[in-house]
Each structure stands twice: as C-alpha cells, then as structure tokens.
Chains A and B, each alone.
Chain A
Amino acid sequence: MKLLTINVDKCTGCRACEYACSFVHTGKFNPLDSRIHISEFLDDFVFIPSVCTQCEDAYCVSVCPTHALSKNKQTGVVDFDSDKCIGCKQCVMACPWGAIKLNHEGREIIKCDMCGGDPECVKVCQAKALEFTEVEDMVMDKKHRNAVKIKELVTEQQGVTR
C-alpha cells in the first residue's frame, strides 16, 4: 500500500502543496480548501505539513452517522461520499489531527483522497518533503538511515577494518 509520507525536516514552507491540492479539487486556489496544511513556526523557521493519515480504525469513520466516511480496504484510503454527508461535523470533532475540516466557506466537509492514487501535492514539492511511497519502502528507508548513523558511531569507536 502506498502512503503520502511527510519528511518534516525537508519542508521549506513554500505551501505550493496547498495550492496544488485546492486547485485539483476545486478548480480554484485557496489554502483553506487544501486538504494538506503547513503550520509555520517563524521563531525557529520550522514548517510542519499535516494531512490525513488514512487511519486503519478511524475515529471519523466510527462517528459518522450516515456512513459517508468509510475505510476502503483495497486502496487503504478513508473515502468520503459527500452525497451521504449531512454536515453534522462529528468527524471534524473526532479527528485528533485536524485532518478533516470545513472548506473556505465553512460549510462543506473536505478530506484528503490521495487524488485517487496520484497526489497533486507531491508533484509540486521540489524539496521532496512530500512523497508517495510504498509503506515497506518508507520503513526500509528509515531503517537504513538510522543504521547509517549507528554504523558511523561504530566505525568511530572501533575504527575501520579493511
């Protein structure tokens, strides 16, 4: 299964992802209609992207009284069917990440649908803070990056035997 992965340390805070997201979903540019959001901390210049993590046992799905939200076992995405939505906003209150939200007019529920498997936000992220990768690849990559650090420590302590 592929995941939208965030590398926090690479984000430059340019917010092109927010524009790309709103444009592909609404045909207009508005960060408030973006499913992904960049939180900016100007005191330290740290930028934190946040987006729906497509939970396996999602709070939003559990609280939705009309089954407008459901976990798609095939794609792994938490699907949202706006036709079934009554606008009760229980999902907005239930989501711990703030990943389900209201659009710029404050009426319509919006959430990340991973663009049907080809996320637009990833395409404009030159810094590669956002990537769309297989979960196993991401895990391997992290394991490897940590291993490299440990290896450096080991060779530093024991010297290189070659």
Chain B
Amino acid sequence: MIKGGYIGKILRVDLSNNKTGVEDIREDWARKFIGGRGYGTRIMMDEVDPKVDPLSKENKVIIATGPLGSTYAPSSGRVMVITKGALNGAIACSNSGGHFAPELKRAGFDMIIIEGKAEKPVYLWINKGNVEIRDASDIWGKNVSDADSIMKKATHPEAGTLEIGLAAEKLSLISNVTFDGHRAAGRTGVGAVLASKNLKGIAARGNLCVGVADNEAFAKAVYNARGILSKDAFSGGGGAALGTALLVNVINGVGGLPTNNAQDAYFENANNISGEKLAKDNLVRNEGCDSCPIACGRVTEIRSGKYKGNHGVGPEYEPIWALGSMCGVDDLNAVVMASYLCDDYGIDSISAGSTVACAMDLYESGYIPKEDVPFELKFGSPDSLVNTVKAMCEQDSEFGKLLAQGSYRLAEHYGHPEFSMSVKKQEFPAYDPRAIKGIGLEYATSNRGACHVRGYTIAAEVLGNTDRLTYEGKAELTKIFQDLTSALDSTGICLFTTFGLQGKEIAEMFEAATGIKCSVDDFMKTGERIWNMERMFDIKAGFTKDDDALPERLAKEPIKTGPSKGEVTDLNRMLPEYYQLRGWDENGIPKIDKLKELGIDDLV
C-alpha cells in the first residue's frame, strides 16, 4: 500500500469506441518505475507494439504526472507525454511545466491512457473524476492560446488545459503539445500523434487533496531542497533574472554555440541575442511553473522594429540559439517573433530553428532549386528566418510542408541528409559536441533522438569542473546524468532543480512523499531501469547501434573560430566504453544479466 503522493487512479480513454474507464495504479510498477516517464513507458511496453506506425490508431499516448506533483516540492508540476514519437518512431517522453499536472491529479487521475482514434475532433473535460468526451469542432483550426481560452471558457476559468496547435493538426512531425496555451512538451512530434487521434485538447479541474506519507519528513526534505536551490547561482536568482538565455554568452564563451547550421561553433554577435539583451529589450516579467522557486519563464514583448506590438512568452535559451546563431541571425526581435510563431502554431522551436538553418545551408550550397523557395533564404537574414518559420508553421506551400517534417526529411528530399544536424532524425540542441565532448555521447545515445535533457552533462562540462575537451570519463558522466534524469523525470520534478539538488535530496522528498524506501542508490538504479526499458523499446522498434551516431560534419569539419577552434569530435572514443558501462553488448543491446539485475528481464 503506497501511503502518499499518488492519487492512485489511471483514466483510460478509448476514442474509437467513445468509452472511458478507470484503473488503479499498480503498486509494483510504482515501486519499480515511480510515475511519469518511467511508469508511462512501462505501460507503453505492455500495450503498444514498438513497430506500429506512430500516427496509426494502434499507437497510444500516456499523459503522466509524478508523485511529487500537486505538493510544494520545488518545481514539481511536470507533466509527461509518453508515446511512440512521430518524428522518428523512438520511445518519446516529452515533458512540460505549467499547472496542468497538479490540476489533473486533483481532478482524480495520476495518468491518462489515450487510445484509438475519434471519428471527428474531440476534447476531454475531466471534472472531479467525471469524464466527458466533447465535440471540438469549434476549437479545431485554432492556435494554442485560443484553444486554451475557449476550453477554459467552456469548462472552468481555472481549469488546466492541454492542446495541440495548427502545426499538429496538419501532422507536422515536429509539432508539440502545449499546456495552458503557453508551455510545451516540445520534442519528438508528440503533437502529431494526438492529432492523428483527433484529440484537440484536454481540460481538467478537481478538488482532491494530495497527501504525503510522512508530513514532518516531507516538510523537512522540501525546505532543505528549497534552501539549497535559493543559494545556487541559477536557481537562486540567475534563472529569474535572465532565464535560461543566460547560457547564450556562457556557451558561446567556450566556443560551443553551433552557428550557421554548425559550420562553426562560435557566434561573433552572440551579445545581440543574449539573455542580458533579452532582459533589457523584451522582458516584461518572469513567470513560474507550479510550485517553482526558480521561475525562469519569460513574459516578453517586442518594443521596436517591424514586429513591434507582438507579445508572448520566451524565448528560452534553446530557441534563441536555434532561431538565432544556428541561422546566423543576430536580430533579437526577429528571433523573438519567430519563437512566438512556433509557440502559436505549436511547433518545436529547437527542431524548427535547426530546420531553417538546414534549409539555408542547402540553399546556399545550391542543393535547393531557386524555384522551390518563394522567398530569399540565406544565413544571417532576419527576414529569411521569419519567412521560413512562417512557411513551416502555415504549411500552405509545398516547401512549407516539407519544412514542417523537420530537417532530416528536408535534407533527404534534396539528396543531402548529411546537412541535417540530427541524431535519429531529431535535431540536436544548443551545445556543440566538438567543443563539449560528453554532450555528443549524450546526443548519440539519447533514447528519443538528439537531446540535452536526457542527460545534461553541460552541468559538469561547462558549469562544473570537468574538462569539456577530454573524452576520458565522459561515458560514465553521461550514464550518471541519464540515470538521474530518468528517475527525476518520473517523480514529476523539473530537471532545472539539479542545478542545485543531487539525487539524495530528490530521493528524500520522494521517500517522504510516498513512503517507498529510497536511498540514492535505489533512486539511481530506478533511473537505470527506466533507461534500459526505453532502450528495449527502441531496439524492438528497429533501432540499431548504427543509429547511435552523430552528424558527420561534427567529425569531419573542425570548428572554424573562437575558443574551440580546430576541434572535431570522435564518438568512437566514448561509445564502446559507454556500452560496456551500461552492461550492453558491442551492438548496444542490453545483456540479459543486466536486465535481470534491474528486474526487467520479463520485457525481453
């Protein structure tokens, strides 16, 4: 019997048959996989053939919260969207902050399993344990902030909402799932999967309490964690003042900011798109997700130039890089405008920016015929950036439709897939593996395709004391970060707490909340279990060791300028050691002994 943290119920929605049902949280799974990402992936392993077409009705979507959600544990409002991703068919867990997760719990459910396909567009209204599948014909065709307000108006003004935008409706493979109209589970094309099921959104509202196993121990653990966070440079002030964009100058400062589709990794004009510049020119105020002391969210507006008068949230560090230096653009207002467009249409701004950069690169190299592109397309041009993003979002032209499928399909279409800066078809984010070696291993082995938030080695390699240029020890470093993140994603806590917290503090909060005994070692082991389970899904889906690879540009073209000038990366100096440390064979397949040790040998 689990004593706290969980509501204890899972909602199952069968859209094909217009039916809903309620199931209990399985205690054995909660103990082994916690909640959120871990538990959700376990459901996928049980119910979905990893070989199915991600956009078929056989795929399922799990919307999952963690046991720390709807408490005052710091930054504990994460919600996870777990499915077979549309972008690459790998196991996708895309997650977001905001206030939807706690609202879903109070409405009666830790998780929702969405299966089948509705005949016509619908949305769900989950109100105090009651569930209605409602007609969404007046919301279909709306952008995310309108969809959010229409659903709130039709249900409850303080309901938490989830919605997909126009990009997802048109099945863009890089479309996201948005929460409360402005926060997104951005990566892996999870929006298109919901669209393929004709599910436009979910609204949730309830009055249930969340209790914890040991009140005194929980309060002590939470205040300890909050105390540590308040003293850290990022979580104790930097995040609130400058947002994640404070990293622009930090990462460029070590020559690790991919520029012009990673032709370089140093952007001379980084100052023009920095967090400091954003705070000065665009920031209105900062915003916090549920129970979050960091409050890195940016509420912004454009005060001058041709986009004057537009307002929204963000951009974070990643979109500033993707739409900025990756495209060679140093006009911050254009970057902010492009980011607003991505948000509004519900498209992943990391993949979007990298896809624009790929298009610019292909075009300048002469691989895209001029007649295919209805506007100017060149590195460094703010107009090229905004026009290309607009075309991608609207998908009214053939070129726009192609862009909305991400850089890999675009580059493949024009015969040069090597121009796509992606791993497993997903665009890598804002850290150059030539300048920061460990993050390259993380991109190559990330179970959902290139990603920084599966194992944020940057914390050690740039923000900590680990030598970023050495290959030594990076296999172990990557494994530790990946295991820790898998477990913490499953509790419902935000990765950004790890700027200050370690596994110990998070395990303490988890144990006090649930009553499940959990040492740091147990916590890390749980993370390792989840990581291996995700790997098993991908292997069953058809991925092999050949997919654990970086774009060849990173191995062959040295960085041209800046502090990391001359650097390339050699994945082979880390990957075999990584497989060995993971207990996988030389083909990257988990050995049966490892799976037995983790208690998941039944998944083979």
Contact = CB atoms under 8 A, between A and B. Distances in A.
Nearest to B106: A30
A66 to B, nearest CB: 27
Given A13-B287, A14-B291, A45-B284, A19 B71 contact: yes
Given A14-B293, A42-B148, A29 B288 contact: no
User: Which of B72, B212, B240, B289: most chain A Cβ within 10 A?
Assistant: B72
A27 B217 CA distance: 12
A30 B207 contact: yes
A62 to B, nearest CB: 30
Interface string B271-297: 000000000000011111111111101
Contacts, number: 92
Contacts of A83: none
Nearest to A10: B285
A26 interface: yes
A42 B182 contact: yes
Contacts of A42: 145, 148-149, 180-182
Given A12-B285, A23-B215, A30-B210, 6 more contacts: A12-B295, A15-B291, A27-B215, A45-B285, A123-B223, A126-B293
Interface in A8-27: 9, 12-16, 19-20, 22-23, 26-27
A12 B211 contact: no
Contact of A33 (B71, B180, B209, B293): B209
B99 A29 contact: no
Interface in B42-89: 70-72, 74
A124 interface: yes
Measured as residues with beta carbon below 8 angstroms from the partner, the interface class of chain B is: 35 or more
B219 interface: yes
Interface string A99-134: 000001100000000000000000110110000000
Given A19-B71, A42-B180, A126-B295, A28 B209 contact: yes
Contacts of A127: 240, 288, 293, 295
A40 B287 CA distance: 11
Contacts of B240: 12, 126-127
A12 B286 CA distance: 6
The 7 closest A-B pairs by CB, nearest first: A14-B288, A12-B288, A126-B293, A19-B72, A28-B209, A12-B295, A45-B299
A45 B291 CA distance: 16
Interface centre among A12, A32, A105 (most CB of B within 10 A): A12
B230 to A, nearest CB: 6
Nearest to A39: B158
B230 A15 contact: no
Contacts of B181: 42
A123 B293 CA distance: 11
Interface in B108-152: 145, 148-149
B288 A13 contact: yes
Given A12-B288, A12-B297, A124 B226 contact: yes
19 contacts: A16-B74, A19-B72, A26-B209, A27-B211, A28-B209, A28-B211, A29-B72, A29-B211, A30-B208, A30-B210, A32-B207, A33-B209, A40-B158, A42-B180, A43-B149, A45-B285, A124-B72, A126-B293, A126-B295
Given A23-B219, A27-B215, A126-B230, A16 B291 contact: yes
Interface in A32-71: 32-33, 40, 42-43, 45, 47
Interface string B202-235: 0000011111100100010001001001100000
Nearest to A126: B293
Nearest to B297: A12
B313 interface: yes
Nearest to B180: A42
A124 B291 CA distance: 9
B209 A14 contact: no
Most buried by B among A23, A47, A127: A23
A15 B99 contact: yes
Contacts of A33: 209
A12 B287 contact: yes
A126 B226 CA distance: 9
Interface in B275-330: 284-295, 297, 299, 313
A43 B236 CA distance: 27
A27 B71 CA distance: 11
Nearest to B219: A23
Given A23-B219, A45-B284, A104 B182 contact: no
A28 B292 contact: no
A16 B299 CA distance: 19
A14 B211 contact: no
A11 B136 CA distance: 34
Nearest to B286: A12
Contacts of B148: 42
